[in-house]
Amino acid sequence: SYELTQPPSVSVTPGQTASITCSGDNLGDKYVSWYQQKPGQSPLLVIYQDIKRPSGIPERFSGTNSGNTATLTISGTQAMDEADYYCQTWDNNAVLFGSGTKLTVL
Amino acid sequence: QVQLVQSGAEVKKPGASVKISCRASGYTFTTYPLHWVRQAPGQRLEWMGRINIGNGNTHYSEKLQDRVTITRDTSATTAYVDLSSVGSEDTAMYYCARFNTFGGVVRGGLLDYWGQGTLVTVSS
C-alpha cells in the first residue's frame, strides 16, 4: 500500500525558514495538501493542490511537489506556527495522511 | 459560514457500537462529500471513509470496512459514522470533514472544513 513519510520533528528559530518534507513513490504525480494541527484543535488546511493557499492562510506558508517529495515551507516562522503538520494525498480511491511532523519554534 | 457540529463525547465498553453525528450548515449539504477521520492519542490522522451526500454512495478504509458504516440524513443535513465491536484501539478523537475539489479532479481533493471532534473512549 502507498505510504507518505514525514520526519517526526523539525526545529526552527523564530524568523527563520522551516521546511517539512513528505515522501512517497512518485508523489509528484499526485496532488498534496497540508494541514496544521495545534494541541486540542481540529486540523486546519494550510496548502492544497501542492501550491495553493486557502483564504486566510498567511503568505509565509508555501508548498512544492516534485519527484518523490512534497515540501511545506514556512518563511519567517512565528511562535504561533508551532504545531503538528500532516501531508495528505489521494490514493486508491481513499484519502491518505502522512505520519506527521512536530514543528518546534525554539 | 460553513460549520460542522459533532455530537458529544462517548464512553463505550469493549464489544459495543458507537454512533457519532455531524450536522452541517452554511452550504448546500448535497454538494460535497463528507469524510470521517480519527486520531488515537498521540497518533497520526487516520482516514475512515466517506459518503457522497447526493446519492449516499460510500467507500471505507480497508482496515475498518468490516466494522464501519457511514450514513446521512439529507433532511437533517447530518452525517453519521457507526463503528461496531469497538476495542481499546478505537479510543480516539473522531472528526468529520468536508471534501472539496474546487471543481477539479477528485484526486486533487482536500478537506477544507472540519468538525470540532468527538472523543470516544473504550473502557471496561
Chain A residue with minimal CA distance to B105?
Answer: A31
B110 with A49: CB under 8 angstroms?
Answer: yes
Name residues of chain A where pLDDT drops below 50: none
Nearest to A3 by CA among A69, A106, A97: A97
Cell 475512515 appears where? B48
Chain A residue with minimal CA distance to B4?
Answer: A42
Those residues whose C-beta lies under 8 Å from the C-beta of residue A44, and which sit 6 or more positions away, are: A35, A36, A37, B114
Confidence of residue B107 (pLDDT cuts 50, 70, 90): confident
DSSP 8-state assignment for residue A27: G
Do residue A93 and residue B59 have CB atoms under 8 angstroms apart? yes
**Contact status of B32 with chain A (Cβ, < 8 Å):** no
Q: Each residue of B68-79: pLDDT tens digit?
A: 999 999 999 999
Q: Each residue of B18-71: pLDDT tens digit?
A: 999 999 999 999 999 999 999 999 999 999 999 999 999 999 999 999 999 999
Do residue A42 and residue B116 have CB atoms under 8 angstroms apart? yes
Q: Each residue of B34-45: pLDDT tens digit?
A: 999 999 999 999
In this structure, the number of other CB atoms found within 10 A of the CB of residue B120 comes to 19
- Complete edge-to-edge strand list for the sheet that includes strand B3-6: B3-6, B18-25, B78-83, B68-73
Do residue B111 and residue A30 have CB atoms under 8 angstroms apart? no
Q: Is the pLDDT of residue B103 over 80?
A: no
Chain B residue with minimal CA distance to A88?
Answer: B110
Q: Is the pLDDT of residue B108 over 90?
A: no
